């Protein structure tokens, strides 16, 4: 059972890395867009980028919570 938990932790860590890469990419795209967009494009396209950033951030936080729970289970 302990090995299954450890494998799941490794799986979560890989997914977290992937999501963090997505988050960093979304933030970088937002910065570049905000610097170059005019008012129309800012109001039209940046809200979607903000939602993407929020979604990625929430997914990373959820995975971190899952990892923490599994690590707690190993400690007992």
Task: Give the tens place of pLDDT for each residue, 4-13.
Answer: 999 999 999 9
Given a cut of 90, is residue 1 above it in pLDDT?
A: no
Q: Is 37 left (phi over 0), alpha (psi -120 to 50) or beta?
A: beta
The tens digit of pLDDT for each residue in 33-71 reads 999 999 999 999 999 999 999 999 999 999 999 999 999
- Which pTM value belongs to this model? 0.85
What is the average pLDDT value for the chain, to the nearest integer? 95
Q: Give which of 56, 63, 60 is closest to 28, Cα–Cα.
A: 56
The tens digit of pLDDT for each residue in 13-31 reads 999 999 999 999 999 999 9
């Amino acid at each position: 059972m302990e090995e299954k938990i450890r494998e799941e932790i490794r799986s979560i860590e890989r997914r977290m890395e992937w999501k963090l890469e997505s988050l960093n990419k979304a933030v970088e795209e937002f910065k570049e867009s905000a610097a170059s967009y005019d008012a129309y494009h800012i109001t039209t396209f940046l809200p979607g980028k903000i939602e993407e950033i929020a979604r990625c951030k929430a997914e990373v936080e959820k995975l971190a919570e899952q990892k923490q729970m599994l690590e707690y289970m190993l400690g007992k």
